[in-house]
Structure formats: structure tokens, C-alpha cells
Structure 1
């Protein structure tokens, strides 16, 4: 939006000032506009003079940044930060009351500072103390070369996850960004369509913390009648990379291009913040999502695995 407001008086006349950005809130306390750079602009509603929608800043058609699996995994961890974290050498133990494996697994990058059997036993004990299963995130290259063999010896089952990347500029042009509303917080309407939370207060609190964590987080939704969301998505921008996740479409609204519209709107916002590459993580068996991402130009950068340690 482009909004004009009264910003003081000079020589007996009002002084007007414009702000261009995302209108993130308009309530009884006033309006908030998030510009491309700098702090959000907040002012009282009675100071508003005029406003109009403007298109997003054009996303440049540039190649995605070069991918280093280790760096991208660390970037992904910052974009989906666990509620509790503890270092084990170069490994990172993460716990969030069971909300998603990504936020409840040890990121086993580098040297744990212990022999692998002892390190994995420490991992098992750490998660057992929190009444959580012990998951290990195994990345190749990145994790100790002998880790996969040790996990196999212990009988840990591996579940593959694909990390997929795409140039951000092409993605920003893939849908209809004007149909999508953006916000800095996941309100109750957004959460109503996000089907990974419900019932358990501890799980809901952890989900709220994880969803809103990250360097620059945005939530998108397409509204239907009565304000109920038809589609949602989440974005976390970290330097040149934009992480996409939580893309959900209501069953009755599928096959209408809404997932593409959500991702395009989020990509346009990420481009305004200077990002040039998009990435996401998708389970290898999720054929429907993979087909959608294929059509949007995503290709597989690398694969990592979650291994669940057997309980004692």
C-alpha cells in the first residue's frame, strides 16, 4: 500500500508524509505499514489522509545463490528455531514440546566432541528427559561420515526429506500476489487452517514460538467468505535466502491456484527484502507437494534424513 498521513503542522498548514509498504495492521490503535527497509511506520487512524494499493517491487530475474548443504541447513534451522537449544560440541540439540521433527531433533553437523556411540547416548538421554523421541538430522555432506553406519547398527529408521531450491524472481511472477494478505503474526484465522496444532496447551505454545521465530517472518492468507482462510503460507527471510513453509489449502478450495498465489506473494515480499533464492523442505513421499514445486521451478539441492533412535 501507499498511504498518506498528516505528520505535523508548519506555517499553519498540515505536513503530509507518505509511506509505502505492507499494511500489516489497522485497528483501534492505528495503522502499521512495514516498508521495504527500516522500522515499521505506526500512526493513529485519524491522521490517515489517503491510501491505495501498489504492486510489489519488481523481483529481479536472477539465479538462486550457490547452495552449500551445510550453510543451507543452518539457515533453515534459524528460520524454524526450536524453543530450547543446547550444544553438544558442534551438534545442536533442539526441543519444542514435540512440534515438528525439525524443531525436535539434533542437528548433527560437524563434530559432537564425543565418540559417536557416547554422543548418541547423550542425545537419547537429553530427549528422554523431555519425554520426547530422539531424532537425529543426518546431512550428507555435513554429518560425520560414520554417523549413518552407527545409526544403522543401532537399528534407527531413516526418513528422507528433500531440500529444494528455486530462483526467487521467477517464483514471484508465478501467481496473483494482489489476492493475498500478508501479516507479521499468525492470527487465529491463519492458525485455524494450519492443521499441525490443536488441543495441547504446551504444543500450542511451542508452535506459536517456532512459527514466529526467525530473522524476518511473514504469514500469508487468502480469505474466503466471512474471512475464513482458503489458503495460507509462511515465509522466513534470512539474507539471500527465503524459506517457504506451512503452505496449506482448504480442501474445498484446492486446484484453484491458491497455493501458487500464496507462494508468489511471499516471494515478492522476500524479493523486496533483498533475497534472491527460495528454498523449502518436503518429505520425499509427499508426491502432491513435490509436483506443485516442480511446476514452480524448484529442483532438489540435497537430501537429509531424520533417524529415530530406538528406545532403551
Structure 2
């Protein structure tokens, strides 16, 4: 069976915007790669990504990138998106880059008439302390570090909504959306574990899709872990379709 054709222009449009939607405190541009450092908070913000189709690195460039991560006390990571050349994928894998996580990139079309603002959703243009504290309180491991999360979200320089959804008057869910050139990323979706199953995640997503449509965006995009079947099915019901799959690979050192 033939593999489905991937819309490389659409993948590139998402991948270039992701850099601005989830900005690492330190970023290097190495040829067509963006190499990001964010104190280990997330794999996406601490990895090298190709911004154009056919991404590759020769041995000297790859060694240069790996050394920068080691100097920062981080394992080298490369995101194997469709923009990375097949030969490069093979060589990186043979070098020892193993799969750390696998994700889908998904996109939905927006219509301001179909995506109104959500009742009970409060948004701010900057990430306030209460939002950062709320997100970290429901995370584990490195993602509980509020200083490292604050360093990322404080770097957003395009229109953004940091959203808190209230349930019975109390914060129940958190998420953010960033709008850039007609597309909006939705991410950092967190629902209080004690309140799951009440449709709050769907309500939050629908509200941020409405916010994005009000910003003039015609598409929303997101990334979801391939193992998170419940979230994946929810996003499909909201109109998101899978555009590409990718792996974040890490080199053990």
C-alpha cells in the first residue's frame, strides 16, 4: 500500500510557527535547523528541528549540535518530522538516537460562526502567576518547574491567550493558544484529574478555537502524543485531522 502523501508546505508552516508558539529561552539557527534549549522542560523545546524539507546534517554539524546540548547539561534530541531527509533519519538512528516520544501534528479549519467563545473561560494576553502555578500543579517531573515554564511562556511575542476554565467557580483546566499569520497553535492543555470526564477539555479546546477564529485565524493546529488515545479522539471530534506524524529521538550520553 502506498504511503499517504504528506503536505510538506503545511508541515513547514506548522513547524516554523511552533518555534514562536513555544519559544525556548535559547535558540541557535544552524543551517536549516533550529536548535532549542529550555532547561529540559519539554522535549519539543529542547531539541533540534528542521524547518524545511530535506533536513540533514553532516558529521561536523551534528557533532557541533550534540556538543551544544552536552554543554547545557542536556541529552541531544532531534525531532524526526517529515521535513527530515530519509537518509538523515537512517544515519541518526544508526548513531544511537532512540525514540523518546511519538506524536501527531493535527489541524482543524476554523469558522467564527462555528467556534464562539466558551462560557467560564478566562484569558489573559500574558501568562500570569496563577496560570503558571495552576499548570505546574497538575504536571509531573521536569514540567512541575515553574521557573522553567515561565521562561518559555514569557518569551511569546505574538498574540496569545493563556486560558483558565472555571468549573463551579474554581479553576478546573488550563491551556494556551498562540496566533501567527492565520494559524493558531493550541497547547499545554491540562484538566484537573479529579474533574476529568466532564467534558472540560472539549470545552476548553472549543473556547480557544473560538478565540483563534476571533483573531482572524483560519486554522488551528496542535501536537498530541500518539499514546494519548482519549485526547486524540477528542481532537478528531472537534474537527482536527492528522497531517503528519513524528518522533522525538534522544541520544543517550
TM-score normalised per structure 1:
0.70
Q: Structure 1 residues 81, 283: CA separation in 2 closer, same or farther (over 3 Å shift)?
A: same
Q: Deviations over 1:228-287 (max 9, x none)?
A: 411111110011111001111112222222112212222222111110101100111111
Q: Could you say which residue in structure 2 is the equivalent of 1:220?
A: 163
Q: Structure 1 residues 254, 176: CA separation in 2 closer, same or farther (over 3 Å shift)?
A: farther
Asked if the contact 1:164–1:280 (Cα under 8 Å) also holds between the matched residues in 2, the reply is: yes
2:96 to 155, 175, 191: 155
Where structure 1 has 5 or more consecutive residues not aligned to the other structure, the ranges are 1-65
Q: Deviations over 1:125-177 (max 9, x none)?
A: 0000000111111221x22332111112112112321000111228953x871
Superposed displacement of residue 300, structure 1: 0.3
Tell me how many residue pairs correspond in the alignment. Answer: 243
Q: Structure 1 residues 185, 145: CA separation in 2 closer, same or farther (over 3 Å shift)?
A: same
Superposed displacement of residue 223, structure 1: 2.4
2:186 to 244, 250, 261: 244
Q: Could you say which residue in structure 1 is the equivalent of 2:27?
A: 85
CA distance in 1, matches of 2:251, 2:107: 29
CA distance in 1, matches of 2:204, 2:113: 10
Asked if the contact 2:112–2:213 (Cα under 8 Å) also holds between the matched residues in 1, the reply is: no
CA distance in 2, matches of 1:115, 1:184: 38
Q: Could you say which residue in structure 2 is the equivalent of 1:164?
A: 106
Is 1:127 paired with 2:69? yes
Asked if the contact 2:133–2:146 (Cα under 8 Å) also holds between the matched residues in 1, the reply is: no
CA RMSD of aligned residues (A): 2.9
SS in 2 for 1:193: helix
Where structure 2 has 5 or more consecutive residues not aligned to the other structure, the ranges are 1-7
2:208 to 250, 266, 269: 266
- How is 1:52-201 mapped onto 2 (pairs within 5 angstroms)? 68-110=10-52, 116-140=58-82, 142-158=83-99, 159-169=101-111, 173=115, 177-195=118-136
Asked if the contact 2:25–2:37 (Cα under 8 Å) also holds between the matched residues in 1, the reply is: yes
CA distance in 2, matches of 1:206, 1:278: 26
More helix by share: 2
TM-score normalised per structure 2:
0.85
Structure exhibiting the larger radius of gyration computed from Cα positions:
1
